Amino acid sequence: MVATELTRNGCRVEVVQGDITQLAVDAIVNAANPWLAGGGGVDGAIHRAGGPTILQECRQIMEQRGGRPLAAGEAVITGGGQLPARYVIHTVGPVYREWTPAEAAERLAACYRNSLALLRQHGLRSIAFPAISTGAYGYPPEEACPIAVRTVLEELERHDACERLIFCTFGARDYELYRQELGRISGAG
């Protein structure tokens, strides 16, 4: 199910519902944990589908960092292993209850900004995001969605970021949330 929703600064922004591991884009984004250790949710799905090389690269990154966990909002990049995507950008969303709402929003926005910065640094042109933090990390989807959309659109205006950007939602409710949010913005602008 694909709905092309709007174009910003030459980038097509889409909402799809489905499994992010199936998307053939330059990079998919993983909602990782601070130790890049793999886990449940979208993280588990990406490592299962991508095979062991992604986790090996994650371990190397952690070694280079001397074991220092990623802060909420940080992002790193690995290859895509056996995935159709060439790269995986691992970003750590905020655990909602650990922050004030304003701080959580800022950290969540940083996940999207830093992921897009890595995309640019690697000369990549297409990316898919899951709804970061809205699963195990407890961020209310209806609060997270406008932050994700607003941040991404601001970044697309600011930089020649990419040609195709996908919000990959898993559940039907998230799909509608994103469609409505993008629809509201394209209607207004």
Is residue 25 part of the contact set for ligand ADP (CB under 6 A)? no
Longest dimension (CA), the chain: 48
Nearer to ligand ADP, 159 or 164 (CB): 164
Window 108 to 147, contacts with ligand ADP (CB under 6 A)? 130-137
Is residue 20 part of the contact set for ligand ADP (CB under 6 A)? yes
- Residues in the interface with ligand ADP (CB under 6 A) total 21
Nearest-approach distance from CB 140 to ligand ADP, in angstroms: 11
**In this structure, which long-range contacts are made by residues 51-56, counting pairs with CB atoms below 8 Å and at least 24 apart in sequence?**
51/81, 51/82, 52/81, 53/79, 53/81, 53/82, 54/78, 54/79, 54/80, 54/81, 54/83, 54/88
Is residue 42 part of the contact set for ligand ADP (CB under 6 A)? yes
Is residue 31 part of the contact set for ligand ADP (CB under 6 A)? yes
The Cα 106–Cα 151 span in angstroms is 10
Window 55 to 84, contacts with ligand ADP (CB under 6 A)? none
The Cα 123–Cα 182 span in angstroms is 26
The Cα 189–Cα 182 span in angstroms is 10
Q: Which x/- pattern over 170-189 shows residues binding ligand ADP (rule: CB under 6 A)?
A: xx--x---------------
Token pair of 114 as six digits: 């830093």
Could you tell me if 81 and 50 are in contact, meaning their C-beta atoms sit under 8 angstroms apart? yes
Q: Quick one: which H or E segment has residue 171?
A: none
19 is catalytic: no
Nearer to ligand ADP, 43 or 57 (CB): 43
The catalytic residue positions are 43
| Interface with ligand ADP (CB under 6 A) | 19-21, 31, 41-43, 45, 93, 130-137, 168, 170-171, 174
